[in-house]
Chains A and B, each alone.
Chain A
Amino acid sequence: MSGNPIDRIAQATPPSLANRFRGFSDRTIAWLFVGPSIILLLAVNIFPLIWTINLSFTNFKANRLRDAEYIGFRNYERILTDADTWQSMQATAHFLFWTIFFQVLIGFALAYLINKKFKGNDLWTTIIVFPMMLSPAVVGNFWTFLYQPQIGLFNYVVSFFSGVDPSSFSMIGDVDLAPWSIVIVDTWMWTPFVMLICLAGLRSIPDSIYEAAECDRASKWRQFWTLTVPMVLPFLMLAVLFRGIENFKMFDLVVQLTGGGPGSLTTLTSIDLKREAFEKWRTGYASAYAVILFVTVFGLASIYVKALNKVKER
């Protein structure tokens, strides 16, 4: 490059443009840059949220022209005293607890094994990660095929190893099995997520700590519980936070897999909400439902983040 800096800029940009932006202070540029994003988020997130809160106090129905009336907290009262709502909350709790339980267990174990750095671990890690990147609706739909009692691969494999007649059970149709069918597919899909985060945690532990423990003659078992687990815990808790929020919102996978059935056994809150809002068209009622869900997830997440920060500080 030749010439002084002024020449270089003169070459690089038309003078009018350079002059126009030279006049802007950093502060102006900051707002210019942040502005569009904030406006878009306000329009697509905050404005709708306020609208939802407003609708939640009305008996508005989106498929009727009739004007809505304000009915105070009646929607909230009805939702919280409705047995169906509690049934779907319970289904969601079951789904949340067991998916997180299995994903943490298997995900951590896999990360621990991969961290043994055997040959080709990168390749196998990539293969394990595939399910989580794919469309839950499309994959969930295909799992209904794998779960078919007569012809499905899943039932065939189970019967191959256990000797149970493959047509004697239906993962999606049976009352006892349906809640587990969604847990299995979600675990299959999202275990790699927990695995990846745990792996990052394991890799962040410096070797020197283990060397020091070895000098102190701490057993491998003790090293695992007093070094490995506490060091990975913040990572693990972060993974649980993400999975918790995601599965609280769960819709696509389960709606394609079981459609909420049999009966309403796998009707998670999102599915219940969708029915109220877009099938029964009880817009006001559904809005109140949405507000309750949002407050729940936001509240739980905030409490959890506080706990997470405490663990991190330790």
Chain B
Amino acid sequence: MSGHSVTEPSNRQKWISGLLVITYAVITIMPLLWIIATGFKSPEDAISYPPKVVFEPSVEGYVNLFTARTRVTPSMEETLPPPDTWYEQIARESGTVIVGPSRYGQRFLNSVIIGFGSTFLSIFFGTLAAYAFSRFRVPIKDDLLFFILSTRMMPPIAVAIPIFLMFRQLGLNDTHLGMILLYTAVNLSLSVWLLKGFIDEIPLEYEEAALIDGYTRFQAFYKVVLPQAATGIASTAIFCLIFAWNEYAFAVLLTSGTAQTAPPFIPTIIGVGGKDWPAVAAGATLFLIPVMIFTILLRKHLLRGITFGAVRK
């Protein structure tokens, strides 16, 4: 045996485990790289056999993603004035003309509005509730906390039936407000549980000192506790945002037009003739990249977020 501690893995062990983990990582990242690559392929390259790893990059997918086009015959094309923009030029090369913008931009914007709106509200209410659960003796506290968590156990489709009827009565179907309220409620369980954990970790002494100094409870809350909990609040907010961003079941059932978010929209993208995979991949890429960036930012708190604060490391 070598001289070092018995619990320290040997160099050979490290080498082998590193190799295996990296192999898995490369395999698992492949589909994601394939999405990004497909977005930069021409439609012909995207569906070639064998699948092309090396290809000539093209932005046709992105042009197709953001525009609505119609096919024109070569003779018709000759009668048109020459293309005045680079994207018109790209569309012409595949025998189409641009007739207007696509709906992707608007669907993406809906995702942003609903995502940020619901995140703000669930953090606002969640912080208040978490503080109260953490610091005060709330009657039936454990039951309330469990109740809040149990709302996450219901299949979304099961909840969607009465929500659909309720929204129909209130005129909230396919509105931003309706979706924001719904996602706020769904995210509340996450934000209360996570934030309670973060606030529990702030030593009581800080607040007690503030209270002795003559601060009111309320002042102690927003001048002492809130700044201390800032990191926790920020990471909880990102988790709420990611959930709202990714949500599909409610979105597909309760929105169809004005308030439709990107997840139900992206799979419905079709080209002028058949499924336009580069455009779908381009749409998916733009939609997935922000989450990947957030994942990197969040990596220290990831475990906590995905287990509702049950595992804290």
Contacts and interface: CB of A to CB of B under 8 A. Distances in A.
B21 A251 contact: no
A21 B153 contact: no
A132 B126 CA distance: 24
A220 to B, nearest CB: 10
Contact of A40 (B6, B150, B185): B185
B287 A151 contact: no
Nearest to B30: A153
A242 B6 contact: no
Interface stretch (B66-74, B77-85, B292-300): B292-300
B14 A274 contact: no
B310 A238 contact: yes
Interface string B95-137: 0000000000000000000000000000001101101110011
Q: For chain B, which range describes its interface: under 10, 10 to 19, 20 to 34, or 35 or more residues? A: 35 or more
B181 interface: yes
Nearest to B34: A153
Given A124-B25, A130-B29, A141-B280, A34 B288 contact: no
Interface of B: 5-7, 9, 13-15, 17-18, 20-22, 24-25, 28-32, 34-35, 38, 46-51, 125-126, 128-129, 131-133, 136-138, 144, 147-148, 150-166, 181-182, 184-186, 188-189, 192, 213-219, 223, 242, 245-246, 248-249, 252-253, 262-264, 266-267, 277, 280-281, 284, 287-288, 291-292, 294-296, 299, 302-303, 306-307, 310-311, 313
Chain A interface SS verdict (over half): helix
A294 B153 contact: yes
Nearest to B165: A62
A98 B20 CA distance: 23
Contacts of B148: 37, 41
Contacts of B31: 131, 139, 142-143, 146, 153, 188
A48 interface: yes
Given A41-B151, A142-B284, A118 B14 contact: yes
A200 B29 contact: no
B267 A138 contact: yes
A79 interface: no
Nearest to B155: A249
Contact of B17 (A55, A113, A122): A113
A249 B156 contact: yes
A269 B144 CA distance: 29
